[in-house]
Structure 1
Amino acid sequence: MSYGWRVLLLCWALPLLADSAPVFTNFSHSLALQPYHQDYLIAAANQPVRVSTRLLVRVNQAFVADIPIPDITGPARILYQSPTLDYRLLQLRDGADLFAAMDAVRRQPGVELVQPDLLQLERRGYHSQQAVLSDSRIDVIEQLQQLRDRLWQGSRGQGIRIALIDDGVDFRSEALGHPDTLFQYDVGSQQADASPRSGRDRHGTALALLWFARQPALQPGDLAGLVPEAGLIAIRQPDTWTSHTLLAFQLAALAGADVINCSWTSSLLLEPVADVVRDLALHGRGGKGTAIVFAAGNDGQEIEPGQSEAALADALVVGATDSRGHLLAHSNRGGSVDFYTLGSELPVSLPGLRHFSGTSLAAGLVTAMTALLLAQQPDLSLSQLQQQLLSLEGIAPGAGSQPFSGGH
């Protein structure tokens, strides 16, 4: 059953569940939280979640941050704030009833949306795990190599800031060298250090190598080190706490990101994340629109409306092909996918990139080409940038490659 039909079925059955299951609103749909082991299950999406003692609230100018609210301790903390969007985080008192507190917060002036801060109970879906044998005719690879060489005649990314929201970057890597790291932060530990925290945290380092690998570490023909003169904003945020995701985007915006790479998706798209992506796409980069690149995912499925971040119309969503330009069997596809490019393994000698593939790789390549285009034409609007990307060899249009709406 599709996500949309599950939501409709839940809305029909909601009166039967109201007495037993707390409810919150997501995109105007009421989602019930049913007890599930020690946690909860969002029945409409069959998604287990952990519920914190925190509330996310979208507010407007009528909201008073320090007004006393029953069962809420301390003032509301800013999670994401721009001239057009304001999300705050509220902390419950010890022993408070989360859902009673949600009702109290909803009644406050200036509150537009209230959701519990949720952790989707699975590691964030990074999309680079399936290796694919490349065809001997490396048409797309040659196209991308020629494209890189042509764009490098104008710039190698100088002046452009790429934000990487991922599982960390190993700055000790000799192949990475010393990229121009403008800012780094670990959202979970609240430390100014985006280094990996475990041996399995290699995904972000692979993307950093794709963009910033030292040229002396590369062999002729390697497709890596694509934007060596760009600046890096490294934000370690590998979990799915909604509050952490919003804060990661806020930090990227405050650090002046021109492009934000998100080579991941969550199992369930939540409204606060969609709000922030849309706000940055419409108003970021001085009103020209921040380019936010998401991987389509490696499930071999059609992306349903509202399913995950890969369904967002305001993002640049990238699927994966083999070296002949054929859609990879494990690449997600659908009406929200803007571009397709290489997702089979790179011709590269670096150990950290040798087996990097899938839609994560494809999204990283589009991020690199986006940065090279903006380095030459920094005044491009997001709509103009999208059209420029569609004209590049090695990048094929997807069904979602229509001009952005909203005046940018």
Structure 2
Amino acid sequence: MLGRFLVLMVGQSRSGTSQRHERLGMMNPFFYRCVLHLFLGRKALLPCLLLLIPVKVSAYELLSFSNFAQTVTITPHGERYKIIESGEEVVLSDRLIVKTEPQLDKSDLLALSPKILSVREIFIADTFTYFSVRVTHQADLSRVSEQLKSHRRVLFVQPDLLQLRHPLSGEKASTKHISLLERRKIYSGYLKKIGVPTLQTQTHGKGVTIAVIDDGFLFRHPALKHKSPRFAYDLDSLTMSAQAASLGGRHGTMVASILFARPDEEIAGGIAPEADFIALRHTNTWTSKIVLSFQLANLAGADIINCSWRSRWLTEPVADVVNYLAKKGRKGKGTIVVFAAGNDGKKIIANSTEAALSSALVVSSNNSQFQRILSSSFGPSVDIMAFGGMARAASADGGYRWFNGTSLSAAIASGVAALLLSQEPELTADQVTEKLSRRLKPHGSKYIQDNKINER
């Protein structure tokens, strides 16, 4: 009778136990097994004690959700989880990403399930809101997701996942022996060909605000110490602090120097040094953090958002916010959201990464002769090509290093876009893309057969 009673209590606990019982560990099936052993006699005490040794177990075997109307299923895979359909590895949290109609607020969501611990907004638009919803345990994600989706004003729910950041593999030091002076001439010559020096006789980007979402920024670098960020935020620690945003910065410091650097004997000056700088440090790919980074860029008044990176696969919430900003940002003129195409030399397919977004300004790489570099990804979503050879850039150790690939190309495109917007602030995002397309000559280029040419 006791055993049956305990089994029944386990079932009731899974559906209706209080948070107090959960904190006491009474939802743990090992607890009940231990009690049964104790009631069965002393001989069972040792196996009972063995059951108390911490053992990591999966909360569930499968979790399914929708992404672009396709079912995505994740399953435990060692210390992480694997997406069955693609084989990608992810890390699962105890949070859900929830899209609602704007009428719903945090208190409305909290009332939908006792398993919801906290709710916070991560993106607020006039037609929708995205929330990050934390639940009591990963095992509750599926149940709470269904409860949320049953509300008529909840539009979309999926788990908050951490992806492995996609390596932009073309960004590596060159093995070709070309002098520093010669490389500077190649880069400066390219900028001259696309008319940057001419534009800079009229503007250096004043009146335009560029947000850079990257891995940190060494603000005290000699090439950047003149440039105080208008707004600095560290997404990792959720801290509004220039000091926190300056941590790391191997990649972000190089991007920032292409945009804002003061010229010296090592590097050419930044393309738009008088543009305002929003520094958003973001070192991982939690969906909630990516969405929040765009919200912060928008609230801080970004005209251009530079993303010299891409995730391994595109999530619908990220696509939503980029599409919204590209259409309605800048008071309806559209924010220019720039993404690097990537350096794996493959065709970009629909809904694969941020580089597949038609609303974004997607940039691949060419050389100084306007020929596409073979390592640069390509496809119908690519809007323009910009120089992706070698440029000298500031590094996070206080020195300088070579920078190349589509990360460099995206930074160049963002800088030139800032010059164009500074001249004509009323340009829409589509008009900026059209002007960049004519200036940077992205189409009709040849495939390069000689990899040595790629570096130039």
TM-based fold match above 0.5: yes
| Corresponding residue number in structure 2 for 1:15 | none
CA distance 1:63–1:371, change in 2 (3 Å): same
Cα offsets for 1:70-113 (capped at 9, x unmatched): 24435531100121331011111257521111111111231010
Query: Does 328-337 or 133-142 show the bigger shift?
Result: 133-142
Map residues 2-401 of structure 1 onto 2, 5 A cutoff.
21-67=62-108, 68-74=111-117, 76-94=119-137, 97-120=140-163, 122-126=164-168, 129-132=171-174, 133=176, 141-145=188-192, 147-193=195-241, 194-198=244-248, 201-215=249-263, 217-218=264-265, 222-346=267-391, 354-392=401-439, 394-397=440-443
Gap regions ≥5 residues in structure 2: 1-59, 446-456
Q: Which has the higher helix share?
A: 2
Q: Tell me, what secondary structure is at the counterpart of 1:379? A: coil
Q: Tell me, what secondary structure is at the counterpart of 2:433? A: helix
Would you say the 8 A contact 1:258–1:290 is kept in 2? yes
Cα offsets for 1:280-338 (capped at 9, x unmatched): 00000010000000000011111111110011000000111122222112111111111
Cα offsets for 1:188-227 (capped at 9, x unmatched): 10112353434xx311001111111123x246xx543211
CA distance 1:37–1:95, change in 2 (3 Å): closer
Cα offsets for 1:11-44 (capped at 9, x unmatched): xxxxxxxx96221000001111112112211111
Q: Tell me, what secondary structure is at the counterpart of 2:391? A: coil
CA distance 1:128–1:345, change in 2 (3 Å): same
Would you say the 8 A contact 1:300–1:332 is kept in 2? yes
- Report the Cα distance in structure 2 between the residues aligned to 1:106 and 1:63, rounded to whole angstroms: 13
Gap regions ≥5 residues in structure 1: 1-18, 400-408
Would you say the 8 A contact 2:223–2:394 is kept in 1? no
CA distance 1:152–1:326, change in 2 (3 Å): same
What percentage of aligned pairs have identical amino acids? 38
- Report the Cα distance in structure 1 between the residues aligned to 2:138 and 2:401, rounded to whole angstroms: 50
- Report the Cα distance in structure 2 between the residues aligned to 1:245 and 1:48, rounded to whole angstroms: 18
CA distance 1:28–1:348, change in 2 (3 Å): closer
Which has the higher relative contact order, 1 or 2, with Cα contacts under 8 A spaced 6 or more apart? 1
Q: Tell me, what secondary structure is at the counterpart of 1:97? A: helix
Query: How many angstroms does 1:64 deviate by?
Result: 4.7
| Corresponding residue number in structure 1 for 2:29 | none
Query: Does 289-298 or 136-145 show the bigger shift?
Result: 136-145
The CA RMSD measured in Å over matched residues stands at: 2.4
- Report the Cα distance in structure 1 between the residues aligned to 2:394 and 2:114, rounded to whole angstroms: 57
CA distance 1:322–1:357, change in 2 (3 Å): same
Q: Tell me, what secondary structure is at the counterpart of 1:76? A: strand
Q: Tell me, what secondary structure is at the counterpart of 2:402? A: coil
Q: Tell me, what secondary structure is at the counterpart of 2:143? A: helix
Would you say the 8 A contact 1:127–1:359 is kept in 2? no
Would you say the 8 A contact 1:134–1:323 is kept in 2? no
Larger gyration radius, structure 1 or structure 2: 2
Q: Tell me, what secondary structure is at the counterpart of 1:66? A: helix
- Report the Cα distance in structure 1 between the residues aligned to 2:138 and 2:284, rounded to whole angstroms: 25
Query: Does 222-231 or 159-168 show the bigger shift?
Result: 222-231
- Report the Cα distance in structure 2 between the residues aligned to 1:79 and 1:328, rounded to whole angstroms: 37
Normalised TM-score (structure 2): 0.77
CA distance 1:333–1:353, change in 2 (3 Å): farther
The alignment of Structure 1 onto Structure 2 pairs a total of residues equal to 374
